[in-house]
Amino acid sequence: MSATKAPEAVAHPAPAARQHRVAETISRFRPAVIALLILLIFGGTTIKNSSFDGLSNIQAILSISAVYLLLSVGETMVIVTRNVDLSVGSTLGMSAFAVGEIYNHDPHITMVVVLLAGIGIGAFCGAIIGLITTVARVPSLVVTLAALYIIRGLDNIVGSGVQIEPSVIPHSLVSLGYSTVIGIPWLFVLVVVVALAAGFWMRSFPAGRELYAIGSDPEAAVLAGIPVARRVFTVFVISGALAGLGGVIFLAQQATVDSTAGTGYELIIVTAVVVGGVAIFGGSGSVIGAVLGALLLQVINQALVAAQISAFWDSAIAGAMLLAAISFDRLISFRASRALVATEGVSYVE
C-alpha cells in the first residue's frame, strides 16, 4: 500500500505585493532622487546662464535656504505626528520684528539675549498652539490656521507703519548672516547640524521614535502607553522655537524687517516637507528628506530668476510638486493595503 503524497502548497506571488515593493523602494530612495533633481536643475540652469554656478551664487542659495531648512525641521516633527503647523511664517515674522524692536531700544544688547528672546517668542507661540491642540483637542489645522492670522494681525497692529532700519542692527548680527566656513555659509552649516541632530533623535531615541507611532495610529499609541499629548505638545514647542530662531536668522540676513516678514512661508515649508518624503497623513518621513525638499524648492526659485522666467511659475511649480507628492504617498498607502490583503489571501495549488 503506497502512501498518498500530500499536495504541495505553492504560493503565487501577488502582483499587488510586487507593486508595493517597487513603490516602497522609490519612497526609500526619495532623498537621493531629490538630490539628483537638485543637481540636474542646477546643471541645466548653468548651461543657460554660465554665472549660475559661481561661488557667490552658490553661497547665496545656501544662505537664503537656511531659514527654510530650519523651519522644515520643526514642521517635519509636527507632520510625522499626523498634525500640521501653519503658523511658522507668522511666528518667524513676530520673532524677527520683536528682535528688531529690542535692538531699536538697546543696540548694545548681547547676541545671546537676542537669540534666547527669538527662540523664547517662538516657543511660547508653539506652546499655546500645542495646549489648544492637545488639551482642547481642536484639530491642529484649525488651531494653526487661526494662529497664523492672530499672530500676523498682532504683527500688523504693533508694526503698522514701522520698519526696523539697517542702521539699528549691529554688525555682529549682520555678519552672522553672511559669514562663511571654508566657503560655506555659517548659517547653512548651523542648520545642517540642527537637522542631523533632529534626525538622529527621531530615529535613535525612544521619544523620537514614538512620534512615528503616534502618526501611524494615535489610538494604538495611547494603548501602548505612549504619552501622546505630551509628545504632540513638545513638537509644537520645538517647531515654534525653531521658527523663532528663524526670525533672528531672517533679521541677520535682511538687516531690516517690517510686519510682513515671513508672509507665505508656511505653504512653502509644508510643500518642502511633503516633497521631501514626509507623509502628510503622518507616520513616516525623515528630516533629511524634508531639508532636501526645502533646498530643491530654493534651487528652483533661483533657477527661475537666473533663466529670467516669471516668478509666478515658482508658486505654480511648488503647488504641482505638493499635489504630486501627496498623490504618490497615497499610492504607496494604497499599494500597501492591497499587498496586505494579497498576503492574507495567498492561493495554493496541488
What residue segments make up the domains of the chain, in order of their start? Answer: 54-262
The pLDDT-based confidence of 13 (bands split at 50, 70, 90) is very low
174's grid cell: 549682520
Confidence band, pLDDT 50/70/90 cuts, at residue 338: low
Q: Which among 125, 286, 269 is positioned nearest to 211, based on CA atoms? A: 286
Nearest-5° Cα angle at 20, 15 to 22? 100
Query: How buried is residue 47: exposed, middle or buried, by Cβ count under 10 Å (0-12/13-18/19+)?
Result: exposed
The whole-angstrom separation of Cα 179 and Cα 190 is 11
d(CA 123, CA 148): 15
Cβ-contact 295, 64 below 8 angstroms: no
Above 90 in pLDDT, residue 79? yes
Sign of CA dihedral 107, 110, 115, 116: negative
- From residue 281, alpha-carbon distances to 147, 166, 215, 219, 306 in Å are 21, 42, 7, 15, 35
The residue ranking higher by pLDDT, 149 or 347, is: 149
Q: How far apart are CA 294 and CA 326, in angstroms?
A: 16
| 160 phi and psi angles, rounded to 5 deg | -60, 120
Four-way CATH pick for 54-262: 1.10.3470.10, 3.40.50.300, 1.20.1740.10, 1.10.1740.10:
1.10.3470.10
Residue 217 has pLDDT above 80, yes or no: yes
- What residue type is 63 in one-letter code? S
Share of the chain above pLDDT 90, in %: 49
At 335, is the pLDDT very low, low, confident or very high (cuts 50, 70, 90)? low
| CA–CA separation, 302 and 319 (whole Å) | 17
For residue 185, give the H/E element and its range. Answer: strand 184-185
pLDDT at 77: 96
Residue type, 58: I
For residues 50 and 160, the model is more confident at: 50
Would you say the pTM of this structure is higher than 0.85? yes
Residue 108 confidence (pLDDT) = 84
pLDDT > 80? residue 5: no
